[in-house]
Amino acid sequence: MEMESLPNGNSGGSDSGSATPVGSIAGLTPVASKLSHLAESLKLEHQFLRVPFEHLKKSMRANQRIVEKEMNAVMSSVVEAADRDLMSNEEAVQHLTSLVSRLQGLKRKLEEGSRTEHLQVQKCRVRFDHLDEVEVENSSEWNNTRLKRILVDYMLRLSYYDTAMRLAESSNIQDLVDIDVFLDAKKVIDALQNKEVTPALAWCAENRSRLKKSKSKFEFQLRLQEFVELVRAENNLRAITYARKYLAPWGATHMKELQRVMATLAFKSNTECATYKVLFEPKQWDYLVEQFKQEFCKLYGMTLEPLLNIHLQAGLSALKTPFCYEDDCTKEDPLSHESFRKLALPLPFSKQHHSKLVCYITKELMDTENPPLVLPNGYVYSTKALEQMAKKNDGKITCPRTGVVCNFTDLVKAFIS
């Protein structure tokens, strides 16, 4: 037999058809098993900590650039004044007033930047504290919060910003989600959907060093699209000037793409040649939007797929067996539903081992006729044994190995294929 889904590793069983009492090979107490499960869950929280940290680094770099730019300007102005031989009192006062005004402006910017950095540091601290709160006792509440975080992430990626913000506010998890980061990205996405590249180019300029390190082609693709739009408007002279200024520097690394787009000057926007016609199609803007989303996720250390998709795929893959797609698949199996089958279609089947599952109480084989039931403490026994126990004890079940008492209605069925 193959065990499709049993919690906490307390199901037992052995390979090659040998009979083993259920739960005998687990060797873990329920508490230890839950702690192990929580520890594994924390390994999935890389994005949770990485995003606010990257946002903080970006703010710090921006503030540093402002300081360097303003201080260089002030120092240049001071040196220029010192080099002048003659300066009237009036000019000197005016010059000093200008410098003071500039330094006061810098002070205001630094104060604002400091507040922003402080808020982002607070967000990092809140997230560390949230991860530190994981305990067996409150794991249900903690997992519920994580589910809401995953749903907010999914909504933000699909541009349901208002719904995401309402869920975050109603659940009081604003510091545990990345709404502010996605709202920054929204400005670029909206502009690209309106066929404007200026905000996207500004974003590339802000993150040029990071994009260069990852060998990103996004800025080049934006420049190509801007060139194509000039050709579409039949402004060829301006297009050639633009190409010399912005496209020529990319020639050493992207010559083929450059040659192809330059040929549009001869073929025009109404060409029927498939090679060049595709460059003028509106879907090119959709490609830019998708490319920006990928570059944005890479920059902040996010997964390219929404976290909800990743968790669903992992769960469905673990449940997926050939039996799930047969007509006599039990209706209690999640993959008996068409919607789940469709989601699981591209996923691999879970790795299964042939085992015989034997009830610890009755020593009888557990199969589809006598399926295993899972107690709240994670231990598993056959339906037949637990039904007999419930009849004798007014619906109460006592785990023969731990002494835990629960109601028969609290049991959960595990699926065997």
pLDDT in tens, the chain (417 residues): 333 333 333 443 333 333 333 433 333 444 455 555 555 656 677 788 888 888 888 888 888 888 888 888 888 888 877 777 677 778 778 878 888 888 888 888 888 888 888 888 888 898 888 888 776 556 788 888 989 999 999 999 999 999 999 999 999 999 999 999 999 999 999 999 999 999 999 999 989 988 999 899 999 999 999 999 999 999 999 999 999 999 999 988 899 999 999 999 988 888 889 889 999 999 999 999 999 999 999 999 898 889 898 888 888 888 888 878 777 777 778 888 888 888 888 888 887 656 678 898 998 988 888 899 999 988 899 999 999 999 999 999 999 988 899 999 999 988 766
Token representation of residue 104:
């006061």
Q: Same domain for 111 and 151?
A: no
Q: Same domain for 119 and 221?
A: no
Q: Same domain for 188 and 172?
A: no
In a domain, 315, yes or no: no
Q: Same domain for 99 and 152?
A: no
Token representation of residue 120:
């982002």
Q: Same domain for 168 and 271?
A: no
Which of residues 278, 299, 320 is at a domain's end? 299
In a domain, 57, yes or no: yes
Q: Same domain for 238 and 255?
A: yes
Which of residues 258, 277, 299 is at a domain's end? 299
- Say whether 131 sits in a helix, a strand or coil: helix
Q: Same domain for 56 and 97?
A: yes
Q: Same domain for 215 and 255?
A: yes
Structural domain tally of the chain?
A: 3
In a domain, 109, yes or no: yes
C-alpha 177/C-alpha 214 separation (Å) is 26
In a domain, 281, yes or no: yes
**Are the C-beta atoms of residues 184 and 161 closer than 8 Å to each other?**
no
In a domain, 206, yes or no: yes
In a domain, 249, yes or no: yes
Which of residues 299, 319, 342 is at a domain's end? 299
Q: Same domain for 277 and 188?
A: yes
Q: Is the pTM of this model over 0.75?
A: no
Q: Same domain for 149 and 195?
A: no
Radius of gyration of the chain (CA): 31
Q: Taking Cα atoms as reference points, which of 154, 161, 203, 206 lies closest to residue 179?
A: 161
Q: Same domain for 123 and 230?
A: no
C-alpha 10/C-alpha 399 separation (Å) is 13
Q: Which domain holds residue 62?
A: 44-132
Write out the H or E segment, with its range, that includes residue 416: strand 415-416
In a domain, 284, yes or no: yes
Q: Same domain for 271 and 196?
A: yes
